[in-house]
Amino acid sequence: MKELVRLEHVHKMYPMGRSTVHALNDVSFVVREGEYVAVMGPSGSGKSTLLNLLGCLDRPSSGRYVLGGRDVSQLDDPALSEIRGQHVGFVFQSFNLISQLTVLANIEVPLFYQGLPRRERHPRSRELAGQVGLGNRLDHRPAELSGGQQQRVAIARALANDPLLLLADEPTGNLDSRTSMEILDLLDELSRRARTIIMVTHEDHVAGRAHRIIQMRDGQIHSDIDRQRPEPSG
């Protein structure tokens, strides 16, 4: 499969007073299209930092990041925003829906910033809501939904722009085990349809859904186990 993500000797340092925190320390790996990767590791080991970097929310302090064949490690803010809008989908632990907006409007936000006209946005977000099983909740506000439903909306939103890369930072962290299963099933389903997924998690049974598990420790990759090559998409 084609190479989608390539990190080469990536470092991320945060200045903290006089000292610096080495959140990522010489991280290199490659993710191919269609892979389903779980990133694990103790708290503070740099998982979120890594994911933010992969999602172009941040830039490496040094090293190279190539996304879809394009070196994005030194792009400026507008260019990074453009890449996030076009090629990245985020799913957060705390859902991060916009509370004033309806389900439909929330799903539309990425399309909105891509400049898609309203009449094209509507059917697309309606279809996505249907895919995550919320076709009958289109006009609800996030506060009127359960946690699992909110996370479904977030996943639909992350898929709206048909991203190269779906990034999920502890997507089941705020959910009970039954709802977690539903969300994981949804991610499995996406993976089967050749969506590339990188997911941060603390839990083994969650990571067990992925094909590959990267263990982080102190900002470094401790282990990188390929459990099963992704099946070529049909």
Partner 1 sequence: MKVIYKVTDIVLLGFRSLTTHKVRSLLAILSILFGVWSVIAMLAINEGARYEAEQSLRQMGTDKFLIQSLKPPQDRGAAQQTGRALYYGLTRADHRRLSESLPGLLGEVAGHETRKFAQYGTRLVPVRVFGTDPSYLQLRGLRVAAGRFLSAADELRCRNVCVMTQSLARRLFGYEDPLISVVRLGGESFDVVGLVDTPGGSTPEVPADLVSNLVYVPASTERTRFGEYSILRTTGSFEAERVEVSQIIFHMADERAVLAGAKIAESILQREHESPDYEINVPLDKILQLQRQRRLWNIMFFAIASISLLVGAIGIANIMLASVTERTREIGIRRALGAKRRDITVQFLVEAVTLTTGGGLMGIVLGFVVPPIVQAVLKVTAILSPPMLMVPFLMAVAVGLVSGLYPAMRAARLDPITALRHE
Ligand X SMILES: Nc1ncnc2c1ncn2[C@@H]1O[C@H](COP(=O)(O)OP(=O)(O)OP(=O)(O)O)[C@@H](O)[C@H]1O
Considering CB distances under 5 to 8 angstroms, the limit depending on partner class, which of ligand X, Mg ion, partner 1, none binds residue 96? partner 1
Instruction: Please report whether residue 141 would count as binding partner 1 according to CB under 8 A.
Output: no
Binding status of residue 203 toward partner 1 by CB under 8 A: no
The CA distance from 197 to 33, in Å, is 9
Q: Name which of residues 68 to 87 contact partner 1 (CB under 8 A).
A: 77-78, 81-82, 84-86
Q: Which of 15, 17, 69, 115 binds partner 1 (CB under 8 A)?
A: 115
Cβ at position 168, least distance to Mg ion in Å:
11
- Which residues lie near ligand X (CB under 6 A)? 14, 16, 21, 23, 41, 43-49
**Binding to Mg ion by residue 49, rule CB under 5 A?**
no
Q: What is the DSSP string of the chain?
A: --EEEEEEEEEEEEEETTEEEEEEEEEEEEEETT-EEEEE-STTSSHHHHHHHHTTSS--SEEEEEETTEE-TT--HHHHHHHHHHHEEEE-TT----TTS-HHHHHHHHHHHTT--HHHHHHHHHHHHHHTT-TT-TT--GGGS-HHHHHHHHHHHHHTT--SEEEEESTTTTS-HHHHHHHHHHHHHHHHTT-EEEEE-S-HHHHTTSSEEEEEETTEEEEEEE-SPPPPP-
CA distance readout (Å), 111 to 103, 105, 121: 14, 10, 6
Closer Cβ to partner 1, 36 or 92, answer by number: 92
| Minimum distance, C-beta of residue 15 to ligand X, in the bound complex (Å) | 8
User: Comparing C-alpha atoms, which of 92, 91, 99 is closest to residue 144?
Assistant: 99
Nearest CB to Mg ion, comparing residues 105 and 198: 198
Choose the contact partner of 84 out of Mg ion, ligand X, partner 1, none; CB within 5 to 8 A by kind.
partner 1
Least Å from the CB of residue 134 to ligand X: 28
- Give the chain's end-to-end CA distance (angstroms, integer): 13
Q: Which does 36 bind (CB under 5 to 8 A by kind): Mg ion, partner 1, ligand X, none?
A: none
CB of 219 to Mg ion, least distance (A): 13
Span near partner 1 by CB under 8 A; candidates 19-27, 60-68, 108-116, 137-145: 108-116
Q: Is 112 in the site for partner 1 (CB under 8 A)?
A: yes
Residue 48 found at the interface with Mg ion (CB under 5 A): yes
Interacting residues toward partner 1 by CB under 8 A: 52, 55, 57-58, 77-78, 81-82, 84-86, 90, 92, 96-98, 100, 109-110, 112-118, 157, 161
